[in-house]
């Protein structure tokens, strides 16, 4: 028999149900009643609207009292029988957040040797089951969980459940779905199951925080950005754990040219903070076959769990936890802090995410037309302003700081996250560690959100945050490529982008500007020069990359260097190589052998910056009073006027020459060359000769 009618029932307010009908048979009045749970008698409903247009009909019913979530709700009609009622719009009803915001700190699996408690926030659900399997057992056991306050389902199991695999089975709108735990802190391969672990068993991995220098300001920080796989995968080293957390910390490793590799190479550079591209669990690399598909990791899956493709044994849920913690510990012991790149603006795919499986429609922003917001370009902006989304983000950040002891967060597309959320992250993190750093991409990408967002236009609301400075990036790229229309913007950028110098300030002070010319999703500067300066040979392009990189370290603000920038690496003219594989992304040890002198020179600039107090100054007034900047024949000259900031020197001058000819300057007082990216000739009678395509520092 042909089915000529389609019908759906949906809760559209706490006390109202809408039924949508499509039928090609004549329409007549539809009487309906409400079935609640196991009640035998239905609850009569009041018809308040009956609209028809051709084959379409919309019918609305008034409930005698507001619905209370947590029950099975079905619509009964004599003509059509029993229909499930879709309650997935309830998160948008007035009062939902007030009724269901849970403030407890015990979501997920909370373990002790005597018992483990499981809690999951699922306010729309009519029933939730825990599906759990003991180690070395083939069968799962199903337990019904108890609904508690604020839409939390809970279950306590007595006994030692260390190492147990578990999942949740959730019934929303009479449809069952099986999923992992959004608060899971341990996982099996590819996030299919969550695991209970005794996290106290990892306490023997020392944090080595005593070895970390304290930082008073973001301007004390020097960031080096890298990716776990990219740093360790090369076949030109004897690193054993290639592409793994453990590969990052193998000591004594060498390249096939005999140069330090991996950990020894990184610790030789002198930077203060290693920023790692996402190390939490992400979606698009098969953890069982990590060489099959490449990705940087900007596709979040599990916010509390380390990425399994970086573990030596992904089948053991302890492996990724222990090895991630060991990696951070080893860098701490070497005096290097770890910044974690976090992506709280979207997930990989909302439709298949744990969030939509457990609480449909809650975690993602929607446009006025009802479609998911796509400011991120990934089809699903996280609604960070909603209390339980904000809680999830705050709890994840707290876990990474408290358990793994990361030392900072770099926020991907921070301008999509609301201000209040990142303020609370900063407040909590710095209360625990005053040296903790927070910075991110502050692009103003818009978005239909009433609360202020954490973009650079709202920098005054976020005085403790750094923002990637695209004005600096574009001015530096242009200036060093020979475009002197960029000169004024570059001078403005060098002196912190927070002075009214040639243009209005962008920031409150130098602590808010992250100065850079390339990062993971930009073209490398070598490739920029290859496109813009086809007249240059390889050697001259390397000179400009080095000079521009050194200038970052002499600029007021937060210097940021991208892996491979120190050797003028290329990505073969590709920009966003997030999924293009090792060929485009891995660190080139053969290139390091060819250009090791570049690394040595840049390391001298890093050490100079760390020692020179004036480069850590952030107050715009002090900067304005302490430096004089001018330009001559395309070369920028910066003099430091405040001798108290440059001890043990009395005079200090910096020169930035992007031109293809050397430039002579006559100084008021003879000085010696302290640093230069190219061999510098000695001038006469106090003159200094700045080589072509170089950054030079003189002092006395």
Sign of CA dihedral 612, 616, 621, 622: negative
Q: Kind and range of the H or E element at 692?
A: none
At 324, give phi and psi (nearest 5°): -65, -45
Strand 165-172 and strand 127-133: pairing? antiparallel
User: Where in the sequence numbering do the catalytic residues fall?
Assistant: 412, 441
State the residue for tokens 């530096």: 476
Reduced to 3 states (helix: H, G, I; strand: E, B; else coil), residue 630 is: strand
Of 228, 239, 201, 250, nearest in space to 308 by CA: 228
Whole-angstrom distance, CA of residue 412 vs CA of residue 417: 9
Residue 461 burial by Cβ neighbours in a 10 Å radius (0-12, 13-18, 19+): middle
Strand partners, 128: 170
Of 384, 371, 373, nearest in space to 345 by CA: 384
> What torsion, rounded to 10 degrees, do the Cα atoms 156, 161, 164, 166 define?
0
Whole-angstrom distance, CA of residue 325 vs CA of residue 400: 10
Whole-angstrom distance, CA of residue 530 vs CA of residue 485: 20
Q: What is the largest CA-CA distance in the chain?
A: 105
b/e map 76-102, b = 16+ CB within 10 Å = bbeeeeebbbbbbbbbebeebeebbbb
First to last CA, the chain: 97
Return the structure tokens found at 210. Answer: 């005593």
Q: CA neighbours within 13 Å on the CB side: how many for 284?
A: 16
């Amino acid at each position: 028999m042909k089915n000529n009618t389609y019908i759906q029932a949906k809760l559209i307010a706490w006390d109202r149900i809408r039924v949508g009908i499509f039928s090609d048979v004549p329409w007549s009045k539809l009487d309906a009643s409400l079935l609640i749970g196991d009640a035998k008698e239905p609850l009569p409903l009041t018809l308040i609207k009956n609209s028809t247009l051709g084959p379409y009909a919309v019918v609305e019913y008034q409930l005698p009292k507001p619905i209370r979530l947590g029950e099975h709700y079905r619509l009964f009609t004599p003509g059509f029988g029993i229909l499930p009622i879709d309650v997935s719009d309830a998160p948008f009803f007035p009062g939902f957040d007030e009724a269901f915001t849970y403030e407890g700190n015990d979501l997920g699996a909370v373990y002790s040797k005597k018992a483990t408690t499981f809690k999951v926030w699922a306010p729309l659900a009519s029933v939730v089951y825990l599906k759990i399997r003991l180690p070395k057992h083939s069968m799962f056991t199903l337990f019904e969980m108890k609904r508690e306050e604020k839409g939390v389902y809970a279950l306590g199991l007595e006994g030692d459940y260390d190492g147990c695999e578990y999942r949740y089975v959730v019934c929303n709108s009479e449809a069952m779905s099986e999923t992992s735990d959004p608060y899971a802190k341990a996982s099996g391969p590819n996030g299919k199951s969550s695991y209970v672990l005794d996290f106290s068993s990892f306490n023997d991995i020392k944090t080595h925080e005593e070895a970390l220098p304290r930082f008073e300001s973001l301007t004390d920080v020097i960031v080096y950005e890298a990716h776990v796989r990219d740093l360790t995968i090369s076949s030109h080293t004897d690193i054993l754990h290639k592409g793994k957390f453990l590969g990052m910390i193998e000591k004594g490793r060498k390249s096939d040219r005999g140069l330090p590799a991996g950990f020894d190479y990184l610790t030789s550079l002198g930077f203060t903070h290693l920023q790692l591209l996402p190390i939490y669990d992400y979606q698009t690399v098969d953890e069982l076959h990590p060489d099959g598909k490449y990705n940087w990791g900007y596709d979040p899956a599990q916010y509390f769990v380390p990425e399994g493709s970086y573990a030596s044994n992904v089948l053991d849920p302890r492996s990724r936890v222990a090895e991630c913690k060991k990696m951070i510990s080893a860098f701490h012991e070497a005096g290097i802090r770890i910044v974690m790149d976090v992506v709280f603006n979207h997930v990989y795919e909302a439709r298949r995410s744990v969030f939509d499986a457990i609480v449909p429609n809650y975690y993602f922003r929607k446009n006025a037309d009802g479609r998911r917001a796509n400011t991120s370009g990934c089809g699903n902006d996280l609604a960070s302003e909603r209390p339980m989304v904000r809680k999830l983000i705050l709890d994840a950040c707290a876990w990474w700081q408290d358990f793994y002891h990361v030392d900072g967060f770099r926020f991907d597309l921070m301008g999509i996250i609301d201000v209040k959320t990142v303020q609370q992250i900063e407040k909590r993190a710095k209360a625990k560690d005053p040296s903790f750093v927070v910075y991110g991409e502050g692009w103003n990408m818009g978005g239909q959100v009433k609360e202020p967002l954490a973009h650079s236009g709202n920098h005054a609301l976020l005085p403790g945050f750094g923002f990637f400075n695209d004005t600096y990036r574009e001015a530096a790229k242009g200036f060093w490529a020979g475009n002197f229309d960029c000169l004024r913007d570059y001078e403005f950028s060098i002196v912190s982008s927070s002075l009214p110098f040639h243009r209005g300030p962008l920031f409150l002070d130098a602590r808010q500007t992250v100065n850079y010319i390339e990062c993971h999703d930009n073209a490398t500067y070598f490739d920029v020069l290859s496109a813009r300066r086809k007249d240059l040979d390889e050697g001259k392009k390397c000179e400009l990359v080095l000079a521009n990189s050194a200038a970052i370290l002499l600029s007021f603000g937060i210097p940021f260097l991208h892996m491979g920038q120190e050797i003028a690496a290329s990505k073969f003219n590709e920009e966003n190589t997030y999924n293009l594989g090792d060929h485009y992304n891995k660190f080139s040890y053969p290139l390091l052998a060819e250009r090791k002198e570049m690394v040595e020179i840049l390391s001298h600039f890093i050490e100079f910056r760390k020692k020179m107090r004036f480069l850590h100054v952030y107050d715009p007034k002090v900067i304005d009073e302490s430096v004089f900047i001018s330009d001559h024949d395309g070369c920028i000259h910066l003099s430091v006027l405040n001798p108290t900031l440059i001890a043990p020197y009395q005079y200090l001058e910096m020169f930035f020459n992007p031109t293809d000819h050397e430039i002579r300057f006559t100084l008021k007082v003879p000085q010696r060359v302290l640093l230069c990216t190219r061999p510098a000739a000695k001038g006469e009678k106090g003159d200094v000769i700045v080589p072509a395509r170089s950054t030079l520092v003189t002092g006395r």
